[in-house]
Structures are given as C-alpha cells and as structure tokens.
C-alpha cells in the first residue's frame, strides 16, 4: 500500500514546512495538497517527493505543474487540454506526465461521472504525453458501510471501463484517515490486486493525531496551541466584559487578558463557552472573543500572574483540551478548528 500524506491547508494548520520535512524524513514519498500553488510551495521543501495537486488546475497553471513536477488530479477535458498543450511545449515525451484521474462515485464535488468517462478517455490518445498513473475516488461517509459499498461499486465499474480501453493504472487511490485507522475498505485493495495495481490511501487528519470518528486509542495530537496572560484586572459585581457586554460579573471577578482572538482562529462562537487551561485548571472565556484578544475568568485560580502559560489546545498538568472539544462547542469539526489557526500564529517544532 502507498500512503499519501495529505498536507493541504498548511498541513491542517500545523505548518507545512516542518510537517512535510518530518514526514519525508520518516519515509513518506507522496504528499497531497489542494492547489498548484500549494504544490509549488511544497516543492521548495521536498525536492524529491511526489506531490499530488488534488483539486485540478486552472488556466495558466499547467506550466507550473510541469516545471515543479507536480502530479495533477484531473477529471475534465479542459484539464487534459491545458496539460497536453503545456507538456508538448516543454517537449515532454509520450506518457511522461503522470496524472491521477478522479471518478465521481457520489461526492458530486470533483471527478468525472461514469457517463462522461468514455468521452474523457477518448480524448486521451495513445501518443499523449499524459499517462493515467492512478484512478482515484473519495468516499463521502467513510465510517458507514453501505454508502461506501455503493461508491465502491461505481468505482469498480469505472476501473473496469478504464482497463477495457487499454489503460493500465499503477495505483488505485481511495480511502482517507478513517480507512487507515479502521483498515476499512479492503475492497479497494482487492480491486487493485485484480487490476495488477497497488492501492493508495490518502490520509490527513490521522497523521496529526486525530480519529475523524472521534476515538482511536493511542493517537496523540501533534499540536498544542498556547498563549500567555498579558493583563489582569478585577471587576465589581455587575460590571460587564467585552463587546455587547455579554458577560456580567456576578461576584468580584478577576479577568485575565489573552493576546489571541478570532483573527488567530480562536472561533468567535467559543465566546462565553470555551475554557482554557491555566495552572492545570479550566478558566472559562468571559464575554465575546474579540478579533485579537480574549478575556478569561481566573477568579478561581488565584495564582494567575502576568506571563503565565495558557493552553487553548493541548495538555497542562494532566488537564486537556482537544480539537474535537472545541469543535463540539463551536458546532464544527476538528478539521476546521485546526486549519483555522491563522498564519500569524507562530509555529514552533518541539521534540
């Protein structure tokens, strides 16, 4: 099995440069990014890796694909035409430019629909500089057997048609973190074996230490998000805090000011809901999260002092806040919590 490490969106908010370099040093040979632009950035970090640009390409991007040796996901005749033209201009030989052909098996997002497959294949002549290295698809409910089986049937039908037209893809690429953790969809592996191909799995979230379904024992989140107290004040009972005065002190209250806000990716929906960790205790967010600042109620943590470490995500003295915790409070998924952490938040690698 080939593992493709998905590092789109700045490695799910973790920082592309350090994550990609670490994964490459661990032996990962394939990386997945969203755009050609992300692929070009990754090429500067990983000169020898395979880089899959997973969301097609647009006019003007085909030259970058070739110059930076990216592998595009394609599903549309426009993609093929753009790439063929650029490949010929660069003097590419027959089959020199590998592409991954995506099949829409039910996500209705990208990929050629089964009905459009014959025409698409017909537009790829034998002497084309493009070569179908992989056939891929994406499961919309990888934790559910029946919809995934239905998508598998569509995928198998597509692979049959592709083989019947004489194409010999080396890879069948389907499945994400859920399949990696549950060893699900062996059907993909069996299909690959039947077609003399290898199976590829494209995993993102699991690499960063989370189970998309919520509960893989032994997985350790890679990222911690920390800040520190930059201000402290006491307010009287009845005093309010933050925009629109949504917090009102019911007792003499001590507030700590944190230099982090929704512009950093600390979701405004966490206002008056999330907690942060301080000296191993949970301190509730007091009032609305501002663009750049947040107040927390530290009345119950008398040792709180200026400069003290505050954990937004991660562990402190045995207490813990996870991306799924914040996601539940903000009505979203851990993916969004992680990749929302803004570029201006410095990333530091620690052992």
Ligand X SMILES: *Cc1c(COP(=O)(O)O)cnc(C)c1O
Candidates 191, 205, 274, 311; binder of ligand X (CB under 6 A) is 205
Q: Is the dihedral of CA 241, 297, 285, 9 positive or negative?
A: positive
Q: Which is nearer to ligand X, 183 or 303 (CB)?
A: 183
Candidates 100, 202, 275, 288; binder of ligand X (CB under 6 A) is 202
Candidates 101, 134, 203, 276; binder of ligand X (CB under 6 A) is 203
Size of the site for ligand X (CB under 6 A): 12
| Cβ pair 74, 98 in contact under 8 A | no
CB-based closest residue to ligand X: 204
User: Does 176 help bind ligand X (rule: CB under 6 A)?
Assistant: yes
User: Does 6 help bind ligand X (rule: CB under 6 A)?
Assistant: yes
Closest C-alpha among 210, 187, 217, 181 to residue 199: 187
Q: Which is nearer to ligand X, 177 or 294 (CB)?
A: 177
The count of C-alpha atoms lying within 13 angstroms of the C-alpha of 261, restricted to the half-sphere facing its C-beta, is 14
User: Does 271 help bind ligand X (rule: CB under 6 A)?
Assistant: no
User: Does 71 help bind ligand X (rule: CB under 6 A)?
Assistant: no
User: Does 212 help bind ligand X (rule: CB under 6 A)?
Assistant: yes
One-character DSSP codes across 293-345: -EEEE-TT-TT--TT-EEEEEEEETTEEE-HHHHHHHHTS-HHHHHHTS-TTS
Tell me how far, at minimum, the Cβ of 204 lies from ligand X, in Å: 3
Burial 27-62 (b: 16+ CB within 10 A, else e): ebebbbbbbbebbbbbbebbeebbbbbbbbbeeebb
User: Does 100 help bind ligand X (rule: CB under 6 A)?
Assistant: no
Element (H, E) at 110: none
Distance (Å, rounded) from C-alpha 267 to C-alpha 332?
A: 10
User: Does 54 help bind ligand X (rule: CB under 6 A)?
Assistant: yes
User: Does 204 help bind ligand X (rule: CB under 6 A)?
Assistant: yes
| Cβ pair 160, 169 in contact under 8 A | no
Element (H, E) at 251: none
User: Does 304 help bind ligand X (rule: CB under 6 A)?
Assistant: no
Candidates 128, 177, 293, 299; binder of ligand X (CB under 6 A) is 177
Which one of the spans 163-171, 205-213, 226-234, 300-308 is the region binding ligand X (CB under 6 A)? 205-213
The count of C-alpha atoms lying within 13 angstroms of the C-alpha of 193, restricted to the half-sphere facing its C-beta, is 6
Q: Which of residues 112-141 bind ligand X (CB under 6 A)?
A: 138
Pairing outcome for strands 309-316 and 319-321: antiparallel
Which one of the spans 17-25, 204-212, 245-253, 291-299 is the region binding ligand X (CB under 6 A)? 204-212
Q: Which is nearer to ligand X, 31 or 247 (CB)?
A: 31
Q: Which residues are catalytic?
A: 8, 243
For residue 258, give the 3-state DSSP assignment. strand
Which residues are at the interface with ligand X (CB under 6 A)? Answer: 6, 8, 54, 138, 176-177, 202-206, 212
């Amino acid at each position: 099995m080939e593992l493709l490490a998905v590092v789109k969106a700045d490695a799910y908010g973790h920082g592309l440069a350090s994550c990609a370099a670490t994964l490459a040093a661990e032996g990962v040979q394939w990386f997945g990014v969203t755009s050609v632009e992300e692929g070009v950035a990754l090429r500067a970090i990983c000169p020898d890796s395979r880089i899959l640009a997973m969301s097609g390409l647009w006019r003007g991007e085909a030259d970058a694909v070739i110059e930076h040796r990216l592998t595009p996901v394609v599903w549309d005749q426009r993609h093929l035409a753009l790439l063929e033209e650029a490949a010929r201009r660069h003097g590419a030989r027959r089959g020199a430019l590998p592409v991954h052909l995506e099949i829409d098996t039910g996500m209705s997002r990208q990929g050629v629909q089964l009905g459009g497959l014959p025409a698409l294949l017909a537009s790829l002549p034998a002497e084309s500089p493009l070569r179908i290295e992989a056939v891929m698809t994406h499961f919309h409910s990888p934790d559910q057997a029946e919809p995934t089986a239905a998508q598998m049937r569509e995928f198998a039908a597509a692979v049959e048609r592709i083989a019947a037209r004489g194409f010999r893809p080396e890879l069948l690429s389907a499945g994400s973190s859920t399949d990696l953790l549950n060893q699900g969809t062996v059907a993909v592996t069996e299909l690959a074996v039947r077609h003399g191909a290898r199976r590829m799995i494209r995993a993102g979230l699991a690499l960063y230490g989370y189970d998309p379904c919520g509960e893989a024992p032994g997985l350790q989140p890679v990222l911690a998000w920390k800040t520190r107290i930059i201000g402290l004040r006491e307010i009287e009972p009845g005093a309010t805090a933050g925009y629109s005065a949504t917090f009102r002190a019911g007792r003499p209250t001590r507030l700590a000011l944190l230099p982090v806000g929704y512009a950093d990716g600390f979701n405004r929906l966490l206002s008056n809901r999330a907690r942060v960790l301080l000296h191993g205790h949970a301190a509730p967010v007091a009032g609305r999260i501002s663009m750049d600042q947040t107040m927390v109620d530290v009345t119950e943590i008398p040792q709180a002092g200026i400069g003290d470490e505050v954990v937004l995500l991660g562990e402190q003295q045995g207490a813990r806040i996870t991306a799924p915790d914040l996601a539940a409070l903000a009505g979203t998924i851990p993916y969004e919590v992680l990749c929302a952490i803004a570029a201006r938040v410095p990333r530091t690698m620690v052992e």
